[in-house]
Amino acid sequence: MGTIKQNRANNILTSGKLDATDGLNNNVPATNIGNASLSNVTSYPPSSGTGVSSVASDPPSPNEGQIWYNTTSGALKQYSLLTGSWSSGGSLNTQRTTSGFGTQTAAIAAGGFDYPPNLNTTAVESYNGTAWTTVNSLNSARRETGEAGTQPAGLVFGGIGPFPSPTSSGSGENESWDGTNWTEVADLNSARYQNSGAGTQTAALTFGGTPFPVSAATESWNGTSWTSVNSLNTGRSYMGATGTQTAAITAAGDTNNPHPTKVANVESWDGTSWTEVTDVNTIRAGLAGAGIQTDAIIFGGGTPAPGTTGNTESWNGTAWTEVNNLATARSALGGDGTSSSALAFGGYPGSWPATTVTEEWTQGLSVQTITAS
């Protein structure tokens, strides 16, 4: 097919200068690649800077997104993500709706609710990647809390205690987990439940929630106290959320209680303010999320039908894509992890009692040959 030529003119900025991060790094604009197969390329120049490298064999441990030219096979290759899927994990010891934090192999499920017996719980369980173990309980029985952190260092804040009446105001309680015990620390400024959370034990964020009407309030935690910061653009509760104190994303939720109106709204937090971004594909509330602000998944939830869903969507920082669903559709579930390695546990499967089912999300990587088609 001949030699692929690189036109530097495509790397010239409007100011007339060469784009150093593009032109000098040997990046080839798509417009320079002819409509022909890129398999069996006859030649490719040696690596320049951080550009495409020429190697005799595929790298043994490439990074996601890495591209190289294999001189032996005469093919341009990349290391790309495969479509992810859910598989069965170890079941919770206590059936319930719940919330939690951590990773696929090191997670905490804290509090929750089951019916019967119509009771919130203080129960806490720890996951090691295979099985759940009962550990020390919360000080206050609660459900529908916000959460942040890791298995050895986390927070649970807000929530609701006794079975709610229409005037229930929620809780401002905040408990810190040190890997062994829960300790009461400074309360939220605004008591609420069905609030979302992101971040770590010492640098967290909570936003949204209810009582009536739903809240847009956002608070930031510095390890000692909560400070009110800029509110959500759309007040709502029961959102899916993930990220950090300075870079979070929250998706869907309910905008109106006590008559819920489920929405598809998504907002991104930059450490100062919230910005509306692309909506999710499936309207829902009571969902869970995992990942970071620009690379995340959301899963589960309750739909307007009414009903529950196992729908899972992947976020690349710009758009949401439908991917493989949970095997057990449910809302009010716990979940956390990364976009390629997440955990979903517990929840309401559409009828009582609640479920103990745990599922693990895995998205593999594969070496692929790049072609023009």
Q: What size, in residues, is the chain? A: 373
357 SS3 class: coil
Q: Phi/psi class of residue 223: alpha, beta or left (left: φ > 0; alpha: ψ in -120 to 50)? A: left
* Topology of the domain comprising 85-362: Neuraminidase (2.120.10)
- Domain ranges in the chain are 1-81, 85-362
Q: Which pLDDT tens digit goes with each residue over 108-119?
A: 999 999 998 888
Q: Which two tokens stand for residue 98?
A: 């719940």
Q: Which pLDDT tens digit goes with each residue over 146-172?
A: 999 999 999 999 999 876 554 467 999
Percent of the chain whose predicted confidence (pLDDT) is above 70: 83
The answer to whether residue 365 scores a pLDDT higher than 90 is no
* Contact between 53 and 44 (Cβ < 8 Å): no
36 SS3 class: coil
Residue the block writes with tokens 């916000």: 146
Residues 6+ apart with CB under 8 A from 250: 196, 198, 207, 208, 232, 239, 240, 241, 266, 267, 269, 289
* Contact between 69 and 63 (Cβ < 8 Å): no
- The pTM assigned to this predicted structure is 0.81
Distances (CA, A) of 340 to 97, 298, 359, 364: 24, 12, 13, 7
Residue the block writes with tokens 């000098």: 24
* CA nearest neighbour of 252 among 305, 313, 167, 203: 313
Prior bond to 60 cis, omega within 30? no
Q: Which two tokens stand for residue 169?
A: 């105001």
* Contact between 158 and 209 (Cβ < 8 Å): yes
* CA nearest neighbour of 198 among 152, 251, 236: 251
H-only helix segments in 36-99? none
Q: Which two tokens stand for residue 31?
A: 């417009």
Of 140 and 49, the one with more pLDDT: 140
Q: Which two tokens stand for residue 360?
A: 């693990």
Q: Which pLDDT tens digit goes with each residue over 240-294?
A: 999 999 999 999 999 986 677 999 999 999 999 999 999 999 999 999 999 999 9
Dmax over CA atoms of the chain, in Å, equals 74
pLDDT of residue 26: 52
User: E strand or H helix at 127, and its extent?
Assistant: strand 119-127
